[in-house]
Structure 1
Amino acid sequence: MQTQSEISENVKLARRFVEGVLGGADPQAFDELVADNVWVSTGLKPDAPITSKAEYGRVLSETLGKAFSEGDMKIDELLETSDGRVVVRFTATALHSGELYGVPPTGKRVVFAEMHLLRFADGKLVENFVGGLNPLSYEMIFADYIKPLVLS
Structure 2
Amino acid sequence: MKHAVFSKIVSAATLATASSVLFSPSTLWATTLEETSMHAEIHTAPTAHHRENMVRSYYQAAEMHPYQEEAVSVFFDEHYQSYPPRKNGPDISGKQSVLSLLKNLSEGFPDGKRSFAMIEPVGEDKVLVYFTFTGTHTGSFFSYPPTGNKVSFVGVDIFTVKDNKFISNHHVEDLSTLLEQLKSN
SS at the partner of 1:113? strand
Query: Which of the residues 126, 140, 148 maps onto 1:99?
Result: 140
Partner of 1:54: 96
Which letter maps to 1:98?
G
- Partner letter of residue 69 of structure 1? P
Q: Which residue is equivalent to 2:28?
A: none
Report the equivalent of 2:180. Answer: 140
Residue equivalent to 2:166? 125
Stretches of structure 1 lacking an aligned partner (at least 5 in a row): 144-152
**Which consecutive unaligned segments of at least 5 residues does structure 2 have?**
1-11, 13-46
Normalising by structure 1, we get a TM-score of 0.72
| Matched position secondary structure for 2:112 | strand
Q: TM-score, normalised by structure 2?
A: 0.60
Q: Distance in 2 between matches of 1:118 and 1:131?
A: 12
User: Which aligned pairs between 1:15-34 and structure 2 lie closer than 5 A?
Assistant: 15-21=56-62, 23-24=63-64, 27=68, 28-34=70-76
Find the aligned partners of 1:85 and 1:124 in 2 and give their Cα distance: 11
**CA deviation string 1:6-31 (max 9, x = no partner):** 8521111111122322x237845313
Q: State the SS of the aligned residue for 1:80.
A: strand
- Counting aligned pairs with the same residue, the percent is 19
Give the secondary-structure state (helix, strand or coil) at the position aligned to 2:139: coil
Counterpart contact for 2:118–2:131, Cα < 8 Å? yes
The alignment of Structure 1 onto Structure 2 pairs a total of residues equal to 135
| Cα distance in structure 1, aligned partners of 2:94 and 2:87 | 15
Matches within 5 A, 1:76-115: 76-115=117-156
In 2, the alpha carbon distance for the partners of 1:17 and 1:77 equals: 15
Structure showing greater Rg: 2
Give the corresponding residue for 1:40. Answer: 82
8 Å contact from structure 1 (residues 19, 73) kept in 2: no
**85-94 or 28-37, which deviates more:** 28-37
1:86-115, Cα deviation, whole Å (9 max, x unpaired): 001111211111223422211011112211
